[in-house]
Structure 1
Amino acid sequence: MEGFFHALIFLIILLYVISTAQYATLGIEPAASDRAALLSFKSLADDDPFGALLSWNNGSLHYCRWRGVSCGRRHPDRVTALDLKSLRLTGLVSPAVANLTFLRRIDLSDNMLGGRIPEEFGSLRRLRYLNLSVNSLRGTIPSSLGNCSNLQLLNLRDNKLDGEIPPTLTNLSSLNSLSLRGNNLHGEIPHFAELPFLSYLDCASNYLSGTIPISLGRLSSLEYLVLGINNLTGEIPSSLYNLSSLTALELANNQLEGTLPSDIGNALPNLQFLYMYNNKLGGRIPASLSNASELRHLEMPFNAFHGTIPPSLGALQSLLRLQLEGNRLEARKPSDWSFITALTNCTGLRVLDLGYNLLQGMMPKSLVNLSTSLLALSFYSNQISGIIPAEIDKFINLTYLDMSFNDLRGTIPIEISHLWQLNYLDLSYNKLSGEIPPTLGNLTRMDKLFLGSNEFEGAIPPTLSNLLMLELLDLSNNRLSGSIPKEVLTLSSLTIYLDLSHNLLNGSLPLEVGNLINTWGLNLSNNRLSGEIPDTIGKCAILDILHLENNLFQGSIPPSISNLRGLQELDLSKNFYSGQIPAFLDELPDLKYLNLSFNDFEGRVPMKGVFKNASEVSLIGNPKLCGGIPELHLPKCTSDAFIAKHHSDYKLKVILIPIGGAILCLIIIMGLLGIHHLIKNSRRKPQSRFSLRNRHVKVSYDELFRATDGFSSDNLIGTGSFGSVYKAAMNYENADIVAVKVLNLQQHGAFRSFMSECEALRSIRHRNLVKILTLCSSLDHRGNDFMALVFEYMPNGSLEEWLHPNACQNRPFRSLSLIQRLNIAVDVASALEYLHHGGSVPIVHCDLKPSNILLNKEMTAHVGDFGLAKFLRQPPDESSERSSTSTVGIKGSIGYVPPEYGMGCKPSRLGDVYSYGILLLEMFTGMRPVDDMFKDGLSLRGYVRAAAASPEHLMDIIDRNLHSADNDIAYQEECVRDCMVLAFDCGLSCSNESPYERSDMTKVLKELSAARERLLS
C-alpha cells in the first residue's frame, strides 16, 4: 500500500513537470496565459456602465482578486470561475476565454453581450456550469459544446440564437440541467435519451417545430421538463408519461393535440406543476389527476377540454392554483357543479379561474365554503344565473373577482365592500340592477372597477372618490342619472380610462374634470350633459381619447383643448356646438380621428393636420361649412367665389354686352316654342323631377319589352305593392341579365314610390345595397305612361325564399346554414349602418323585411326596394326621433312596423332598428312575425324572450331547417350556442318596444361581426 502512494505522488509530480515544461517550451507561464485571456475578454467589452471591470486595470492587483474572477485552491493561479452576471456589459464574448482551461463555471447572464458563442468553448473539458442567458447572442449553438463532457448546466435562454439544436448536445452525458428558452431555434428537438443525469430541460420561447421525441421518455431521472412557447405539434408521446420522477411538466404555448391519458395521475405520481395552457388538447380532464397527490399548480386554460370538471380534483389537498378557463367545460344541471363542493377540501387554494367555458345555471351555495386563502376568483363569460351571494365576504384575502359576461341579476350585495383587499372587480355585462352601493368606496385598494352594461340606476356614488388607487372606472351602458359627482373627477389616480357613456347623466361637466391630469381616455358620450366644455379640460394633458358625442353641449370648442398635444381621438358629434372650427385643431400632431358632425359649425374648414385626410375627419350635418380639401365635398367659401368673380368681371362685360340682344331674342323664341311643346304633351307625360346622374343613359320601352319577351309571366320574378319585377336578357354595364321593376301607375302612391326610390338610390353606394343601373320613363305601345327601374340581377332571389318553403315557386327549397345566416345578418346591418350614419343625410328605409333583401351569386345580401324610404333632412337628434309625431299613415309592412309608428311618430332610424330586430329573430327561428301562432298577446319577440330566459331551451326554438343545412352542427354545438345567444340578444335588444332602449346599428354590426369571427375561428 505504501508503495502505491509513493507511485501516485511520483505520477502527480511528473505531470506537473510535464505541464510546466510545455508552458516553458512555448515561453508562456500558466499565470500569464490566464491573465492574457481575461484581458482579451475585457478588450472586447465595449461598455461597462457599472465600472465592474475597473479593478482589471490595476496592474499591481493579482488577477485572481479581480471582480468576478475566482481561482482554485489546488491551483491558486488558475482561474476556475468567471461570474459577471447582471452588469449590463456590452460587446462580444472573447474566444480567448477558452484558454482558461481550468474553468468550471461561466456565468455571463443578464447582460447585453452580442455576437456568437465562441466555438472554442468546446475545449473547456472541466466546464460544469455555462449560463449565457438574457443577452443578445446570435447565430447557432456551437456543436463543439458537445465536447464539454462534464457540463451539468447549460442555460442559453432569452437570446437571439437561431438554427437547429445541434445533435452533439447528446454527448453531454453528465448534463443534469439544460435550458434553451427564449431564442429563435427551429427544427426538431434531437434525442436527449443519452443524457442519463439530466434532471432539468427547458426549451421554452423558441421556434422549435416538429413533435416531441419519443426518446425523451428514456430520461429516467428527469425532474423538470420545460418545452413551452414553441411551435411543437402532434400528440404528446405516451412514453413521456413513463417519467415517474417528473415534478414539473411545462408544455404551454404550443400546438399540441390529442388527449391526456386517463391514468396520468398514476403515471406521474410526483407531479407538482402541470402547465398545458394555450394548446389544442381536448377530451375530458382525467379524474386520475387526483392521484398526483402533491400537485400544486394545475393550469390548462385555452385548450378544447370538454365535459364536466371531475369532483375528484378536490382530493388534491396541496392544490394552490386551478386554472381551466377558455375551454368547453360545462355544467348543465346542479350535479355538474359538485366539483365546487369537492374543492372546499383544498384548504390552501389561492386561484380558481373557470372563465370562458359553458357553465350555466346557478352556482352551488358551497362556493362560499372555498378556502379563505383564495386570492383570485373568476367565472367570466359563462352562462351563470342567480345572484351574487352575500356570504362572498368570507373571502377576506380576495384581490381579484371577475364575474363578467354572465346572467347575474339582483343587486350588488353590500357585503362585497368587506373585501378590503380587492383591487380588481369586474361585474360588467350582466343584468344587475338597483343602485351602485356607496359602500364600494370602502374598497380603498381597488385599481380597476368594471360595472358597465348592466341595469344600474340612480346617481353615481360620490364615495367612489375614496378609491385613491383607482386607475380605471367603467360605469357605461346603464341607467345612471343625475349629475357627474365632482368628487369622482378629483381622482388623479385614473390613469387608464373613465367611461360614463350611454347613461342618463345630465347637468354640466364640472370644472373638476381638470383634475384628471393622468387620464388616458375619457368617454362621456350618449348622455344628456349640457352647457359648455369647461376650459379646465386643457389640464388633462395626457388624454389620448375624448368622446363627448350625442349630448346637449353648446357654445364653441374651448381653446384649452389645444393643450392636449397627445390627443388621438376627438368626437364632439351630435351636439349643438357653433362658431368656426378652431384653427388649433389642425395643429394637434397625433390627432387621427375627428368627428364634428351634426352640429352648427360655420365658416371655412382648415386644410392642414387631420383635415388633410377625409377618412380621418367627419363634418356631415354642418350645412354652413365651406372649403376644405375636395374629398370633403363641401361648397366653396363665399370669399373664394367673390375673388374669382371679380377676376373675370371685366372679360364677361366685354363678351356679354355685344351679344346680349341676340341672346335675349333667342330666349324669347325658344320660350314660345317650349310653351307650345308643353301644352301639346302635358296630357301625356308625367312631370319628371328626378335624376340619376348623367352617367345613367335612359333605356327605351322597346328595349325592355324585347328583353323581357313582352313582359312575359315566364320572366316574372316577383310582385310588390307598386309593381312587378321581371328578369331581362339585355347587356348593360357588363351584365347579361338585369332585373326590371315596372311600376303599376294605376296603384295609388306608385308614382311617389318611384320618386322616393330614385331620390334614395341616386346618391348612395354600398356593397350591400341593390345597385340601380338605369331607368325608363316613356310611353308603352298603347300610349300609356310607363315607368321602370333597372337593377343588377340577383340570381339567388330574396331572403324570404330561403327562410320559408312556401315562398318558393320556381325552385326547390334550400335552407341557409348558420354561417350564411350570420353573413346575411352582418350584410344587412352594414347596409343599415351606412344608410343611418354614412351619408350627409341619414336615410330611413321604412320597409325592411326578408322579401326586400336580395342575394347575389355569392350569397351576399343586398337591401332593396326604397319605395318608402325617407330622408331625415334635419340634423338627427335621437331624442327628437323618438318623440316626433306625424299625420302621415303608417309606413312599412305588418309585423315589422315599430309600435311607435302606430301612435303617430315620424319614421326614424330607430324604427329601422326595430324592423331589423324582428328580421333577425325571424332568420334564426324560421318563423314569420305574422305566424298564426302569434295571437292573444303572444308575439315573435315574446316567444324568443321567453325561451332566452332559460338558455337550455334556447336551442329548441332554432329553425329546424338550419340543422339540416349544417351537417356538422352537433360538432359545433358549444360555439353554435354562443352565436345563437348573441344573435337572439341582438334581435331582442333591437326590437324593444321602447325606442330609447334599442341598440343602434353601429353597435349591432360590431357584435354580430365579432360573433361571426368567433364561429369561423
Structure 2
Amino acid sequence: MNFRIEFFFSTLVMFLLTTTISASTGRNETDHWALLQLKSMITLDPYESLSSWNASFHFCDWSGVICGKRHRRVIALNMFSQGLQGSISPYVGNLSFLRGLFLWNNSFHGTLPHELGRLSRLRYLQLGSNKFNGVIPTNLSGCSNIEIIGLYENNLVGSIPKEIGFLSKLTFILLQYNNLTGGIPAFLGNLTSMKVFNAFYNPLGGSIPDTFGNWKNLTEFSLGYSNLNGTIPHSIYNLSLLITFSLAENQLVGSLPSTLCEMLPHLEYLQLRNNQLTGSLPPSISNCSKLGLLEVNNNNFIGKLRIDFSQLNDIQSITLGDNVYGFGEADDMKFIDTMKNCSRLERLDLRNCKFQGLLPASIGNLSDQLRLLVILRNNLYGNLPSSIGNLVGLEVLVLSNNHFTGKIPYTISKLKNLQIAYLDRNQFSGPIPDAIGNLSLLTKLWLHSNRLDGHIPSSLGNCNNLLELKLDDNKLSSQIPKQLLQLSSLTITLDLSKNNLFGSIPIEVGDLKMLTSLDLSDNNLSGSIPSSLGGCISLSFLSLKGNLFNGMVPPSLSSMRGVSTLDLSHNNLSGRIPQFLQRLILLEYVNLSFNDFEGEVPMTGVFANASAFSVFGNSRLCGGLVELGLLKCKETRKDKKRFPLFAIVILIAFIVFMVLCFVYVWCMKRKGQPSQSSTDEQFMKISYTQLFKATNGFSEENLIGKGGFSSVYKGILKHDDGYVAVKVMHLQNRGAHKSFITECEAWQSIRHRNLLKIMTSCSSVDFQGNDFKALVYEFMPNGSLHDWLHSPASKSRLTLLQRIHILLDVAFALDYLHNHCISSIVHCDLKPSNILLDDDMVAHVGDFGLTRFLGTHANENSTTVIRGTIGYAPPEYGLGSEMTTSGDVYSFGILVLEVMTGKMPTDNIFGEDLNLHKFAYTTLPDSITNIIDDDILPFLQEDAISKQGKLENANNIEHCVASIIKIGVSCSADSPPQRMNIKNVVHGLQHILETLQNI
C-alpha cells in the first residue's frame, strides 16, 4: 500500500516538474529567506541534496525547489527520500505560493509548525515516513485548496481535527501508523470528494461514522488496528467504487449483507480479520471477480461455506480460518473443486473451521503458484490425496490436528520447494517415505503424534537445511541412523521420544554442536551414554529418560554449559553423581531418579534446591539436603587413613614445585634474561625447531595471514594431529613484544567457546640467535569472516542465518569479556579479520594483542597510540579517551553493518560526510533493501517483492533484517552513552534468530 502511495506522489512530482519551469532571473527575498531558514534547521544531509542551496545559484535553481513560470515564486519543495534530518522551520509559512510540500521518507522530527495553516494555495502536503510528533495542527483548515494530506508513519498523537472537515477539496487523507486517538470525527463525512481514507494502525477508538456513506468517490477505506467497535454502517456498502476495504483487528460486530459484492463490485482487497462479525459469509463474494485478497479469519462467522471461487481468477490470498463452516456433511470441502481456475492463488488458510469429511482429490488442481496451504485443527479424515504432489510451488504445508489415516503419500517427495511440513497429530500409519530425503529445502518437519512405524529414513541426512525434526510419539522401531546425526543444520529440536528405537546412540551425535533441544526419552536405547554427546555444546534441553542406558555418566557432558534441563531418569546408570553438575550455572532442573547411583548427593549448585532435582529411586545414595530424607553418609576407616597420605602428597608436590620455580627464576636472572610469565608455564613447552619443522620452515605456501605485529602460518606439530595456527611475532617492529606479552596475559585468564583456543607459546631464539616469540592456536579451517565477506572466491556463500549465528557468537564472546571475567577485558581491535570460523562455522574471536584489562594496573604504562583499526575504532579513541567496553560495542556495531551490507567501513563510497553508520541509519525503517547485501535474501530484491509482497513471511524476514541493522546502528552511535549494552545486543539477536527460525 505504501508503495502505491509513493509511486503516486513520485508521478505527481514529475508532472509538476514538467509543467512548471523555474525562472532563471529575478529574485524574491521572502522566499529566499524562508528557504535559507529551512536549510538552517536541517542537521544531516547525507546525499548533499542541499549543496546547491548557496549564493552561486538563484534559489529557483536550487535542488528540489520548483518555481512558477510567471511569478517566480516557490510553488513546490521536492525533497523526498533524501535521508534528511532536522525539523521544519516555521518560516515555511512564508512560502505563500507553495502548492506542494514533498518531504516524505526522511527523518524530520519535532512538531508540525502551525504556520503550515497560512499556506492557502497548498494542494499537496506529503510528510509521511518521518518522525514527527505532537498533534495535527487544527489550523490546517486554513489550507483551503488542499487535496492531499499525507502524514502517515510518524509519531503523531491527539485526535484528528474536526476542522479538516471544512477542506472541501480534500481527496486523500493518509494518517496510517501514528498514535492518534479520540475517535473519528463524523464531520469528515462532509468531504464529498474523498477518494482515499487511510488511518490504519492508530488507537482511535469509537465507531465508524454513518456519514462516511457520503463519500461516493471513495476507492480505499482502511481503518485496521484502530480499536473500533460497533457495527459497520450500512451506508458504507453503498460506496460502489470501493476497491480496498480494510477493517482488520478491531472489535466490530454485526453481519455482512448477503449482497456484498453486488453492492461493491470493484472490490480487490477485503480485509476483515480479527473482529467479532457474525452470520454467514455472503455467497455473493463469488461475484467479486476482481478480488485479490479475501481475509475474514478470526471472526464468528457460521454457516456452510457456499462461495463459488470459479470466477475469482485474480485471487492471490484466501484466509478463512477460525470460523465455523463445517457441519459434518459429506460436501463440507466441496468448494475446493471450484478453485481450479484460481491460477494466481498463493495462500490458502482454512485453519480451525470445523470442516469434516474427506479432503477432495481436487486439492491437487490448485494453482502451481500456491506457496502456503494450512488446514490444521479441522476434523478431516481418510487418506491424504496423492494429488497433493501436484502443488509443486508449496513452501509451507500445515495439516496438523486432523484425523488423516493411511500412509503419507510418496508423491509428497515432488514438493521440491517445501520448507515447512507439519503433519503432526493425525493418524498416519506405515513407514515414513524414504523419498522424503529429496526435500532438500526442508527446514522444519513435524510428524509427531501419529502411528508411523518402521525405520527412520537415513535419507533425511540429505536435508541439509533442516533446523527442526519431530518424530516423537509414533511406533518407529529401528536404530538411530548416523546420517541424521550428521546434520549440522539441526539447531532447534531433534525429538525422537516415545518410539521403539533400539541400539546405542551413534557417536556421530557429537556433530550436533548447535542443537538446542535433544529428546530421546522413552525408547529402548541401550549401552553407555557416548562421550561424544558432550560435543552438543549448545544444548539447553537433554532427555534420555526411560531407556536402558548403563554405566557412568561421561564427564564430557560437562562441556554442555548451557543446559538448563537434564533428565536421565529411569535407566540403569551407576557410579557417583557427577560433580560437574554442580558447576553448570544455567542448570535449572536435573532428574536422576530410578537409576543405580551411589555415594553422597551434592549440596551446591542445582542440588541446593530440593525442588530443582530428583534422585528418588536410587537406594545407595546418602547425605544431601535434609529434605531428601536420606541416611547420613558413613566415613570409612579406609578413607580416614587415605586422607592424611593424600594431603602429604599434595604438600610435597607443592614444595617441589616452589623449589623448581625458585631455581628457574634464579637461573634466568643469572643469564640476564627476564623470567617468563606464568602464562607460559601453563602450556606445554615447544621449541623453535619444532615450529620450524611444523611450518616447513615458515614457508610462503603455509602463510595464511600477515599483520603489523605478526605473521600466521599453518602447520602440523605431530603427524597424527590436525593443523595448528602459528602466530610468529615481528619483534623488529615497535610494539610487537608488548603485543605478545599482552596476548599472553589475556589468554592466562579467559576461556570461552567463542574465543580462539590457544594451545601453547614459544619464547626462544632462532637459528641465527635472534629472539623468537610465537603463539600456537587451534587452526580454524574456514578462515576469517573477512575472507567470507570480501574474497571473490567465497562471496555469496554466507546465508542470513549463518550471518546472524556469527554475530551472535561474537556478541557472546564480548559479553563474556566485558561482564563475566574477574576484570573486564576490552578487546580493542574487533574486526572481521580477527573473527575466525571453525568446521561448523562457529565464530571465534582472536588477536588479543591490543587488549586492555579494566580495573587493574596491567596496562597503566601502555602506549597512548590510538588502539584498533581505522574504521572500526570508535571516534572517542581519536580524542585520547580511555579504552572502554563501549569502544568494543562500537566496533561490533560497525561489524554488524559490514556483515549485513557487505561494505567495509573504508569503502570508497564513504568520506567525511558519509560513513557506514550514516549509510545504514538513513535507510531505517523502510528502505533497508537498498543497502542490504544482495547475497543475503534474494527474495527481498524488488522483482521478488512484487511477487511475494503480500506474503507474511517475506515481511517478517524483512522486519528481522531491519532489526539487525537497527542493532548495528545503535551500537555504532558516535556518543558512547547512546550505544547498546552488549547484554541487550545478545538478547536482541537471540530474539531475531528465534523469530526467523519460527517463520
TM-score by length of 2: 0.56
1:373 Cα deviation from its structure 2 partner: 3.6
CA–CA separation in structure 2 for the residues paired with 1:69 and 1:241 = 42
Match of 2:532 in 1: 536
Question: In structure 2, do the counterparts of structure 1 residues 210 and 508 end up closer, same or farther at CA, with 3 Å as the change threshold?
Answer: same
Is 1:187 the counterpart of 2:188? The answer is no
1:548 Cα deviation from its structure 2 partner: 2.6
Question: In structure 2, do the counterparts of structure 1 residues 137 and 414 end up closer, same or farther at CA, with 3 Å as the change threshold?
Answer: same
Question: In structure 2, do the counterparts of structure 1 residues 605 and 186 end up closer, same or farther at CA, with 3 Å as the change threshold?
Answer: farther
Question: In structure 2, do the counterparts of structure 1 residues 107 and 548 end up closer, same or farther at CA, with 3 Å as the change threshold?
Answer: farther
Match of 1:937 in 2: none
Match of 1:471 among 446, 467, 473: 467
1:297 Cα deviation from its structure 2 partner: 1.4
Match of 1:516 among 512, 518, 529: 512
CA–CA separation in structure 2 for the residues paired with 1:503 and 1:307 = 41
CA–CA separation in structure 2 for the residues paired with 1:625 and 1:130 = 79
Match of 2:317 in 1: 321
Match of 2:34 in 1: 33
Question: In structure 2, do the counterparts of structure 1 residues 265 and 604 end up closer, same or farther at CA, with 3 Å as the change threshold?
Answer: same
CA–CA separation in structure 2 for the residues paired with 1:554 and 1:147 = 86
CA–CA separation in structure 2 for the residues paired with 1:93 and 1:638 = 82
Alignment of 1:788-867 (within 5 A): none
1:343 Cα deviation from its structure 2 partner: 2.5
1:93 Cα deviation from its structure 2 partner: 5.3
Alignment of 1:635-714 (within 5 A): none
Letter matched to residue 289 of structure 2: S
CA–CA separation in structure 1 for the residues paired with 2:572 and 2:61 = 75
- Aligned partner of residue 185 in structure 1, secondary structure: coil
Question: In structure 2, do the counterparts of structure 1 residues 579 and 143 end up closer, same or farther at CA, with 3 Å as the change threshold?
Answer: farther
Q: Is the 8 A contact 1:37 1:99 kept in 2?
A: no
Is 1:289 the counterpart of 2:290? The answer is no
- Aligned partner of residue 420 in structure 1, secondary structure: coil
Is 1:389 the counterpart of 2:385? The answer is yes
Match of 2:162 among 160, 167, 170: 167
Q: Is the 8 A contact 1:41 1:96 kept in 2?
A: no
Alignment of 1:214-363 (within 5 A): 214-363=210-359
CA–CA separation in structure 1 for the residues paired with 2:100 and 2:562 = 51
Match of 1:424 in 2: 420
Question: In structure 2, do the counterparts of structure 1 residues 405 and 66 end up closer, same or farther at CA, with 3 Å as the change threshold?
Answer: farther
1:242 Cα deviation from its structure 2 partner: 0.7
Match of 1:404 in 2: 400
CA–CA separation in structure 2 for the residues paired with 1:571 and 1:64 = 76
Letter matched to residue 190 of structure 1: P
CA–CA separation in structure 2 for the residues paired with 1:488 and 1:229 = 45
1:337 Cα deviation from its structure 2 partner: 3.5
1:121 Cα deviation from its structure 2 partner: 3.5
User: Deviations 1:962-987 (Å, cap 9, x if unpaired)?
Assistant: xxxxxxxxxxxxxxxxxxxxxxxxxx
- Name the % identity: 41
Match of 2:825 in 1: none
Is 1:458 the counterpart of 2:454? The answer is yes
1:621 Cα deviation from its structure 2 partner: 3.5
1:559 Cα deviation from its structure 2 partner: 4.1
Question: In structure 2, do the counterparts of structure 1 residues 82 and 347 end up closer, same or farther at CA, with 3 Å as the change threshold?
Answer: closer
Match of 1:598 in 2: 594
Moved more, 129-138 or 206-215: 129-138
Is 1:546 the counterpart of 2:542? The answer is yes
1:246 Cα deviation from its structure 2 partner: 0.4
1:271 Cα deviation from its structure 2 partner: 0.6
- Aligned partner of residue 157 in structure 2, secondary structure: strand
User: Deviations 1:481-528 (Å, cap 9, x if unpaired)?
Assistant: 111111112222223322212111122222222322333322222222
CA–CA separation in structure 2 for the residues paired with 1:478 and 1:79 = 73
CA–CA separation in structure 2 for the residues paired with 1:581 and 1:133 = 64
- Aligned partner of residue 573 in structure 1, secondary structure: coil
CA–CA separation in structure 1 for the residues paired with 2:48 and 2:592 = 61
Question: In structure 2, do the counterparts of structure 1 residues 569 and 34 end up closer, same or farther at CA, with 3 Å as the change threshold?
Answer: same
Question: In structure 2, do the counterparts of structure 1 residues 615 and 416 end up closer, same or farther at CA, with 3 Å as the change threshold?
Answer: same
Higher Rg of the two aligned structures: 1
RMSD: 3.5
- Aligned partner of residue 240 in structure 1, secondary structure: helix
CA–CA separation in structure 2 for the residues paired with 1:313 and 1:152 = 39
Q: Is the 8 A contact 1:53 1:67 kept in 2?
A: no
Question: In structure 2, do the counterparts of structure 1 residues 633 and 188 end up closer, same or farther at CA, with 3 Å as the change threshold?
Answer: farther
CA–CA separation in structure 2 for the residues paired with 1:563 and 1:90 = 50
Match of 2:795 in 1: none
CA–CA separation in structure 2 for the residues paired with 1:635 and 1:126 = 93
Moved more, 59-68 or 377-386: 59-68
- Aligned partner of residue 283 in structure 1, secondary structure: coil
User: Deviations 1:573-607 (Å, cap 9, x if unpaired)?
Assistant: 33334444445444445444433333344555555
CA–CA separation in structure 1 for the residues paired with 2:394 and 2:341 = 18
User: Deviations 1:7-62 (Å, cap 9, x if unpaired)?
Assistant: xxxxxxxxx9xx98xx8xxxx653233112211232xx5xx7xx345865996765
Q: Is the 8 A contact 1:550 1:573 kept in 2?
A: yes
Q: Is the 8 A contact 1:64 1:77 kept in 2?
A: no
Is 1:481 the counterpart of 2:482? The answer is no
1:634 Cα deviation from its structure 2 partner: 6.0
1:84 Cα deviation from its structure 2 partner: 4.8
Q: Is the 8 A contact 2:31 2:94 kept in 1?
A: no
Q: Is the 8 A contact 2:286 2:307 kept in 1?
A: no
1:119 Cα deviation from its structure 2 partner: 3.5
User: Deviations 1:527-550 (Å, cap 9, x if unpaired)?
Assistant: 222334434334434333333322
Match of 1:176 in 2: 171
Question: In structure 2, do the counterparts of structure 1 residues 362 and 580 end up closer, same or farther at CA, with 3 Å as the change threshold?
Answer: same
1:263 Cα deviation from its structure 2 partner: 0.8
CA–CA separation in structure 1 for the residues paired with 2:468 and 2:48 = 46
- Aligned partner of residue 391 in structure 1, secondary structure: helix
1:298 Cα deviation from its structure 2 partner: 1.3
1:561 Cα deviation from its structure 2 partner: 3.8
Match of 1:778 in 2: none
Q: Is the 8 A contact 1:317 1:347 kept in 2?
A: yes
Q: Is the 8 A contact 1:477 1:502 kept in 2?
A: yes
1:83 Cα deviation from its structure 2 partner: 2.7
1:112 Cα deviation from its structure 2 partner: 5.7
CA–CA separation in structure 1 for the residues paired with 2:632 and 2:56 = 84
- Aligned partner of residue 305 in structure 1, secondary structure: coil
Q: Is the 8 A contact 1:131 1:153 kept in 2?
A: yes
Q: Is the 8 A contact 1:72 1:80 kept in 2?
A: yes
Question: In structure 2, do the counterparts of structure 1 residues 555 and 213 end up closer, same or farther at CA, with 3 Å as the change threshold?
Answer: farther
CA–CA separation in structure 2 for the residues paired with 1:54 and 1:608 = 65
Letter matched to residue 169 of structure 1: I
User: Deviations 1:398-426 (Å, cap 9, x if unpaired)?
Assistant: 22222221111111111221222222222
Q: Is the 8 A contact 2:318 2:348 kept in 1?
A: yes
Q: Is the 8 A contact 1:84 1:107 kept in 2?
A: yes
- Aligned partner of residue 393 in structure 2, secondary structure: coil
